[in-house]
Amino acid sequence: MAPALPSAYLISGPESVLAERALAHTVHEITVAEPDAEVVRMYAAAYAPGDLGVHASPSLFGGQKVLVVHDADEGSDELIRDLVEVLPAATAGDVRLVVLHKGGPRGKRATDALRAAGARVIDAPAMKSDKDKADFAAHEFRAGGRKATSGAVQALVEAVGRDVRELAAACQQLIADTTGVIDESVVLTYHGGKVEATGFRVADAAMTGDTGEALRLLRHAIAVGVDPVPIVAVLAGQLRQLVKVGSAGRGRSAELARELGMAPWQVDKARRLLSGWSAEALGRCISAVAAADAEVKGGGRDPVYAVERAILTITTEHGAS
């Protein structure tokens, strides 16, 4: 016998792709078990006081109701009050309540009540770091029954990782349109232009001391519309990774990755790059990139020149003692 479904669900977190998937799975799970269930969707921005109570009332014709409340974190005091008041009906089995809340203090009274009532909590955490996005992409490929190399995952994150929804779509495209192992060459076939134009490629060239290639890639990135701000952010991020890995000592990549909040391939990459760097040179580069960061965010007249100057500092310092 299948386990009984919860009466209430809380989908909590700001990542819209994960929240939408969790909602779709939840509604599907309920409607498969209860094919006659009526799904009623309510949105915080258009909520009228008392709507929840009206929909939670027993129908003359009977049948289960599934009340889905979107954006509870943006809800009025009346919505939060009604959510709390409807909970007993849900726990009594008259309705099923599904609440989406992106996080933050607003609406916390309702989320606390849902947790206290034993709601099933499904997390949709923000994916901000490259490691989070790489883990997400790797999971997408595994879920699609496909093997992808770490290089392919890295290249795809570099190409489209600024937007999780675009990253998810890119994974699904590769799963649908290709066969065999998805490696870096496959990703480059589909997203080569974007990969070449990203700050990651600029940073890779700079960190190995290749001045000409780093400047060429920078100008190409700017020409196709890449903003200088994320390029500087990538430069800063790669320098910080070199410092973190260099300070961490020896150990297995997977263990260090967990300790440092990085992906194993990032640890391996940093280790390869460290042979050309001294601690003093890294310190000077971090100062130069910090100055460029201030300029590209409004403190300077020519953001592109500020990035070029930072790149020249990095390539000059590479190999210096």
CA distance 60 to 127: 45
Residue 62 has pLDDT above 70, yes or no: no
With contact defined as beta carbons under 8 Å apart, do 197 and 218 qualify? no
Q: What is the pLDDT of residues 220-248, one digit of tens each?
A: 888 877 788 888 988 998 999 999 998 88
Query: What's the pLDDT tens digit per position in 139-176?
Result: 999 999 999 998 899 889 888 877 899 999 999 999 99
Q: For residue range 91-112, list pLDDT tens digits in order.
A: 777 789 999 999 999 999 999 9
Length reported for the chain? 321
Residue 121 has pLDDT above 80, yes or no: yes
Tell me which residue of 293, 316, 304, 307 sits closest to 211, measured CA to CA.
Answer: 316
Interhelix angle 264-274/150-160, rounded to 10 degrees, is 90
Which residues, listed in sequence order, are joined to residue 286 by a DSSP beta bridge? none
Nearest CA to 86 among 69, 103, 74, 105?
A: 69
Helix residue ranges, H only, the chain: 16-33, 51-56, 77-91, 108-116, 130-143, 150-160, 164-177, 184-197, 199-207, 211-223, 228-248, 253-260, 264-274, 279-294, 303-317
Whether residue 301 has pLDDT greater than 60:
yes
Domains belonging to the chain, first-starting first, are 8-123 (3.40.50.300), 130-191 (1.10.8), 195-317 (1.20.272.10)
Residue 62's CB is within 10 A of a number of other CB atoms, namely 7
Nearest to residue 246, comparing CAs of 220, 282, 201, 211? 282
Q: Within 13 Å, how many C-alpha atoms sit on residue 128's CB side? A: 7
pLDDT (0 to 100) of residue 29: 95
pLDDT confidence tier of residue 200, bands split at 50, 70 and 90: confident
* Its pTM surpasses 0.75: no
Torsion angle, alpha carbons of 283, 285, 288, 294, to 10? -90
